[in-house]
Structure 1
């Protein structure tokens, strides 16, 4: 299974979330299957976007595209950290 973990600070969470929600169809068309959004406990403008993708190369192409780069700028994203991950183990305890 393929996952993308993005950690970034945003200027304003509410503004970022609006842009994030508006891009849902773009993400789905690019191969995003599911996502979770998390906030740092004491830093509400520090956000984690954790998502499951059908293909990591498609995910990389999507996040590197000029259109998505502009969306990030418009959403007030500060220096995102992208991590492309392959699941090697999981469980429920």
Structure 2
């Protein structure tokens, strides 16, 4: 199993959440088996997203998808997200 921690800031959590919730099928197609979203206590537009994958290869492929990048842009992700992969 591979676990991905994605850290990023968004312009507006509610707007980002609508986009995030709309791409559930893309996540499933990309190999995400579990997901969760966490907001920083003192900065609720600073997020930690956790995705689980069966393999490292599926995780790497998922984060290379252009439709994921498009969704992040639509959701108002600011700057480059920090993606950490763990086995």
Bucket of the pairwise TM-score, normalised by the shorter protein: over 0.9
After superposition, the C-alpha distances for 1:31-81 in whole angstroms (9 at most, x for unaligned) are 111111100001010011011111222222122211111111111112210
> Once superposed, what is the RMSD of the aligned Cα atoms?
0.9
Q: Structure 1 runs of 4+ off > 4 angstroms?
A: none
CA distance in 1, matches of 2:52, 2:9: 21
For the pair shown, the structure with the greater C-alpha radius of gyration is 1
Question: Structure 1: 5+ residue runs without aligned partners?
Answer: 87-93
Number of paired residues? 86
Q: Distance in 1 between matches of 2:73 and 2:56?
A: 23
TM-score normalized with structure 1 length:
0.87
The alignment's TM-score, normalised by the length of structure 2, stands at 0.92
